[in-house]
Structure 1
């Protein structure tokens, strides 16, 4: 569907419903179809999940509007707050007049359509990214002193791709995911669905994961089953360091890459990070040279480049190759640091 169809449906929803909740969105067929198509609401469970996501996303997008008047207009138009519940547009405008000295009706008339268009475009983009390919990051630091800057740079670089990132609750997973989320936020394209961290309730290695970014999912399953859950919907496995460090996790990175191979998921080992990633790179280098197109062979070799920025660029090229995505625009080292 076009953005104009979604824009029209969003404006119509605001005029008719006068209360933004999952229950009211559940029956907003015009809006849901304009966003996701009729097949997305055919099953009741799918419809309910989509309705909840749309409401959550609209609240997030409205809260992110930088102009205070635009934000209040959006809240009034879509009745997102209790003071606007059940009130007609005229009553909502009267409330704004009486409670905000800087508000004038001319601003409402001038900005309403612009605000709705902006929200519709952002909602459409967020949905497209929600449906984007899922990349699973497997790994563990071989040395956090040298690995942390690489994880931060990798996360910022991944933010340039139309993907979602899935990680376990290790330090490298948390650092990469939050670096990606911060870069998305700085770029104005952040959505909580872009990064998901899975944390076992019985984990003995709790990373600093509780930041107000992305999703954190707690699972009460064993290590292997948690790894299967993370890989179940992944389209690619990106490997960072890893190894057996003599604790209860054993060589979890190796187990995750074995599970990925069982499922036929492409693996991109960031060999410059050492450990399991470097061993995988060595083990599969001959196959890569036989099967990859020439430009991607160069990228594969660069995965072990001594300059992490070169290795990260190579990894992004291989991710786009395996997922049939357009190549990202090149980012300088300075730009990568600015996005972190």
Structure 2
């Protein structure tokens, strides 16, 4: 009985020590609490005490002083305005509110543990993950070839692949959804690091039987009266097409705007218009592909990443691999 009275006085003393702090917290949070910030540091402490039903044993497991742990639990109860633990001398037991709270705490802590394991696994040098974006036109041959060559030395590295147009990939890069992306034209943005890797010569693609189909070379100005099939605005290849036509002295007449280069090549074969496109993965019947002369009709391809972001080991390895392919990214 005497021991129980001393324990009760001790708990009361701990509460009095923190009365001012608890009052200040309540005042600061009166208009709406940021519960994750308030509770997160104490959830594991509460779970340990609940598991052991003994503050001293829980403190030993956590490697903290018993008095510090007791104060933390008292603050947690003050923050919630609910008694979570019933004190019985040296031991404690969960109140109904504490038992209900513990279930959610354990689920939250389990989620944090799984998240920690996931990010640690993604950073593993041998089996980690690289989130990699690339243009549609690089999908048929270039990217599979790069991955095959890289994985010959890093067979366990996993890839999360995103195929999209340049601006959409840069948005995902900024959102932290991608580690690296191959893009064209090369973006000029202060928050990105961009390294040129290679370039592709663009060709004027015309239908078989077109007035220019028998030529090997053509000046872009000769197409001023033609209808063009192009990618939609926002695509890098569309911006290059508009720029090259402007440099040639005209604005292209648009017959169709699409999302995929090989679709455009098929529409050229169907006679819908002409197009400026990179070389196809395999020759396509029904079209003639002409060298554009008089201007530098190329698109530069580079790798981009977010400036200031630390790389995991697998991302750093793949970045070094890509930079080592400068000038031969598109080589067969």
TM-score, normalisation: structure 2: 0.27
Larger relative contact order (C-alpha < 8 A, sep ≥ 6)? 2
Greater fraction strand: 2
Greater fraction helix: 1
